[in-house]
Structure 1
Amino acid sequence: MHDHIAFVHTSPVHVRTFDGLMAELAPELRVRHVVAKELLALAMKVGTNDPGLAEHIQRRMREAAATGARVVVCTCSTIGGVVEQSPTDGRYVAARIDRAMADRAVTAGSRVLVVAALESTLAPTYELLMDSARTLGQELRVDCLLVPDAWAHFVAGETQAYVDCVVAAVAAAVPPPGVVVLAQASMAPATPLLEVIGINAVSSPRLGVQRAIAQFQAQAAR
């Protein structure tokens, strides 16, 4: 029975985040999680254009949908573009968590600063933003900021140090007028901290879940 939304994560830390959002925004829906840490590791090793990676992603998406999910959402920005191109045979919607964030950023201003702790995330997020800009008919200038020191904190489970590192890097960069795009879902806790110091930032989890729920409802209405 197609009565739930599934998420594919590349880190188990995201399970609690998305469980909480779903409980808040759509408590009536069942949720399934598949943690596939190997997808990000493989993407970093072979690149996102590798056919083997695409096949592996497709298998994991089908696994997530196997019990009847109408929508399967990947929460990893690095592989989001591959996910959207993953064939579903019409059985479910394959979605990336950051598509809604990109649409919000594009409509918020003509200049965007993309922030990531992994270099592999920058290009996919840049391409996503430019795709959203073309679709929405918006002019867009995109700058990128890599915060490599932050990732070691994330891997070590030092969440607050990770977020603090991201906030400090963005504050020091003096971002241009417009909006800061926190490219990785794990960066979401930095959003309110940046807003406190006057920086307009967007992150993917809440916006992406809202979009996934709308996609579920659209599928259910058919």
Structure 2
Amino acid sequence: MTTIVVVHTGSVTVQPIKDQFKEVMADARIINIVDDSLLNDVRAAGHLTPEVTSRLYTYMSNAQAMGADIILNACSSVGEATDLLRDMIRTPIVKVDESMAEEASRIGSRIGVVATVQTTLEPTTRLIQKKAAEHGRSISVTERIAEGAFEALLAGDGERHDTILKQTIMALAEQVDVVVLAQVSMARLVPALGKTRVPVLSSPRSGVEAVRRALAAL
């Protein structure tokens, strides 16, 4: 049986990714490692820290010891740590947002990125710019923070989270060719958006599809 270990920095990403695996790879064994102090520490520092990277290494090393065929990093805020750890961990590591970033850079030259956490916004923007550069594409990125949405979600007020986020997405969609939702926790809003002027991309589905492709390539 295929074993996939998913490393989360908060509980809000667990169910969306589990749901996608049920649809895409129902026979796989999914193991979730959750440490919500990782994102809290990144947010407190304002950036990825060596201490957070070290703890991620420990979790991914443990995943390797568990016999994981693939490790999925579920958090964009610590995605750049994954780039370092790929050279240290034998098990292949997939970033949940990497495929989404590449797709966004293909769709258009004006890319909007929406986040509810500042520490996710900047790494996502850098990842999109990196993917565009790899393919020789010229892009511009417009960033937006949905102020107060993440705090509402943590407080259990999903309705307020969705209202703030929807307003931010719809306003940004008027200015760009594609909107990227920078966090897995935001994907649950996509069905409620209805018809939008431009594509709105989220990472759970594309991230899980990237895992499936990576496994097929092994």
TM-score norm. by structure 1 comes to 0.90
Q: Aligned partner of 1:214: which letter?
A: R
Shift of 1:72: 0.8
Q: Aligned partner of 1:152: which letter?
A: E
1:121 aligns to what SS in structure 2? helix
Shift of 1:166: 0.4
Q: Aligned partner of 1:24: which letter?
A: E
Tell me what 1:82 maps to. 81
Q: Aligned partner of 1:75: which letter?
A: A
**Greater CA drift, 188-197 or 201-210:** 188-197
- Aligned residues with identical type, % of pairs: 28
2:119 aligns to what SS in structure 1? helix
Shift of 1:95: 2.0
Tell me what 1:59 maps to. 58
**Greater CA drift, 55-64 or 70-79:** 55-64
Q: Aligned partner of 2:189: which letter?
A: A
The separation in 2 between residues aligned to 1:108 and 1:172, in whole angstroms, is 19
Q: Quote the RMSD (CA, aligned, Å).
A: 1.8
The separation in 1 between residues aligned to 2:54 and 2:15, in whole angstroms, is 27
Shift of 1:89: 4.4
The separation in 1 between residues aligned to 2:194 and 2:84, in whole angstroms, is 34
2:69 aligns to what SS in structure 1? strand
Shift of 1:174: 5.2
The separation in 1 between residues aligned to 2:128 and 2:208, in whole angstroms, is 18
Tell me what 1:10 maps to. 9
Q: Aligned partner of 2:32: which letter?
A: H
Shift of 1:57: 1.3
Shift of 1:45: 2.4
The separation in 1 between residues aligned to 2:159 and 2:67, in whole angstroms, is 36
Q: Aligned partner of 2:66: which letter?
A: T
Shift of 1:44: 1.6
2:134 aligned with 1:135, yes or no?
Answer: yes
The separation in 1 between residues aligned to 2:41 and 2:72, in whole angstroms, is 19
From the superposition, tell whether residues 49 and 77 of structure 1 become closer, same or farther in structure 2 (CA, over 3 Å). closer
Shift of 1:214: 1.0
Shift of 1:195: 4.6
The answer to whether the Cα contact below 8 Å between 2:43 and 2:119 also exists between their aligned partners in 1 is: yes
The separation in 2 between residues aligned to 1:21 and 1:49, in whole angstroms, is 27
The answer to whether the Cα contact below 8 Å between 1:154 and 1:162 also exists between their aligned partners in 2 is: yes
Shift of 1:84: 2.5
Structure 1 residue runs of 5 or longer lacking an equivalent are none
Tell me what 2:189 maps to. 190
2:202 aligned with 1:203, yes or no?
Answer: yes
The separation in 1 between residues aligned to 2:82 and 2:107, in whole angstroms, is 26
1:143 aligns to what SS in structure 2? strand
Structure 2 residue runs of 5 or longer lacking an equivalent are none
The separation in 1 between residues aligned to 2:139 and 2:129, in whole angstroms, is 7
Shift of 1:192: 3.1
From the superposition, tell whether residues 177 and 14 of structure 1 become closer, same or farther in structure 2 (CA, over 3 Å). closer
From the superposition, tell whether residues 104 and 56 of structure 1 become closer, same or farther in structure 2 (CA, over 3 Å). same
From the superposition, tell whether residues 28 and 88 of structure 1 become closer, same or farther in structure 2 (CA, over 3 Å). farther
Shift of 1:12: 1.6
TM-score norm. by structure 2 comes to 0.92
Count of matched residue positions in the alignment of Structure 1 and Structure 2: 218
